Amino acid sequence: MAAPSKTAIAKAVKGKNILITGASSGIGESTAYLLSECGAHVILLARTEEKLKSVKDAIEALGGKASYYPCDLTDMDDIEKTTSQIIADFDYVDVLINNAGRSIRRSVHESVNRFHDFERTMDINYFGAVKTILCFLPMMISRQSGQIINISSIGVLANSPRFAAYVASKAALDAFSRCLAAEVKGDKVTVTNIFMPLVRTPMIAPTKMYRYMPALMPEEAALMVAEAVVNKPNSIACNMGKFASATYSLVPAFNVGIQSIGYRIFPSSNAAQTTDSKPNLAQRAFAKIIPGELH
């Protein structure tokens, strides 16, 4: 599906209240710039007020409309308080974009004494997103209008090794959302999951090897979000994500075999964080054959 034009985006978002979590950097920030440029009023959520204010000021300097609310999306009480304030201030939100997230790159056998890794990813990627949805859902059902967009990961489709904690949390949100989509279809509320490939954001910066890997820029990822707003599909995935999902459904042993090769030829988290972690020939070849995937 081709990226939507600015005209199509403007037609879909002009005058709408669009809430974006994780809006202080990366995909969330780029999405805020794009949608505000096309006429949306973007409501920005993240933990750090200084960064949110900077994004808001930049949007307004460009002629857009933005508001911001500092919120710890791992704190359910804070989410409740913040979302209640947003509804009090604006009456409604047309589109909720659950973008905030945490990624941990570590194999399961290296995590046997790090159960908190699994708890932390679930806290923000699943529980935080679900709590935010629950806070806005009654308003959307009452208005018989609304859209929920979740930024998921290609890893959910590909079963990426070393990302069990991250992928499991995103898969949980995917399953929740697929069930929810059927429940609210009659209320004219749509749910879209975007299975993002690797995107060059601060979240992947700790893994130095990713500097040399094919990845989308945040602006390209923002266009995928805009596509979701314009076309309202149930899901969006790149061709590699669709291929990975199909191979696991039809020939799971093939999928597991390919992922096992990737697991063996790419280093662990500690090695991947070293300053001299340029990919070797085998790693470059694997990344070229399976671009955009997490390794």
**Model pLDDT for residues 115-135, shown as the tens digit of each residue:** 999 999 999 999 999 999 999
Among residues 17, 15, 73, the alpha carbon closest in space to that of 45 is found at 73
Structure tokens at 232: 């309202």
Tell me the average pLDDT of the chain. Answer: 88
Q: Within a domain: residue 145?
A: yes
Question: CA–CA distance from 65 to each of 53, 93, 109, 216, 290 (Å)?
Answer: 13, 14, 47, 26, 39
Confidence tier at 276 by pLDDT (50, 70, 90): low
Q: Are strands 41-46 and 65-70 parallel, antiparallel or unpaired?
A: parallel
- How many domains, the chain? 1
| Residue 177: CA count within 13 A, CB half-sphere | 31
* Catalytic (active site) residue 248: no
pLDDT of residue 295 exceeding 50: no
275: in domain: yes
**CA gap 154, 74 in Å, rounded:** 23
Q: Is residue 250, in this structure, part of any structural domain at all?
A: yes
Q: Which two tokens stand for residue 39?
A: 């006429």
* Domain contains 263: yes
Say if CB 156 and CB 171 are below 8 A apart: yes
The stretch 37-45 carries a mean pLDDT of 98
For the question of whether the overall pTM of this predicted structure is more than 0.95, the answer is no
Residue 289: pLDDT band by 50, 70, 90 thresholds?
A: low
* Greatest mean pLDDT among 99-103, 180-184, 240-244: 180-184
Tokens of 225: 């979000």
233 is a domain residue:
yes
Poorest-confidence range of 24-33, 150-159, 241-250?
A: 241-250
pLDDT at 146 over 70: yes
Domain region containing 155: 6-289
Residue 27 maps to a domain: yes
Residue 1 lies in a domain: no
295 lies in some domain: no
**Contact present, 194 and 283 (Cβ < 8 Å):** no
How many CB atoms are closer than 10 A to CB 172?
18
CA distance 3 to 87: 31
pLDDT single digits (tens) 64-96 = 999 999 999 999 999 999 999 999 999 999 999
Q: What percent of the chain has pLDDT over 70?
A: 84
pLDDT at 292 over 90: no
Closest CA to 35 of 219, 205, 187: 219
| Sequential DSSP letters for 262-291 | HHHHS--HHHHTSTT----HHHHHHHHHST
Quick one: pLDDT at residue 245? 84
189-199 average pLDDT score: 94
| CATH code of the domain containing 37 | 3.40.50.720
Options 166, 210, 212, 248, the catalytic residue: 166
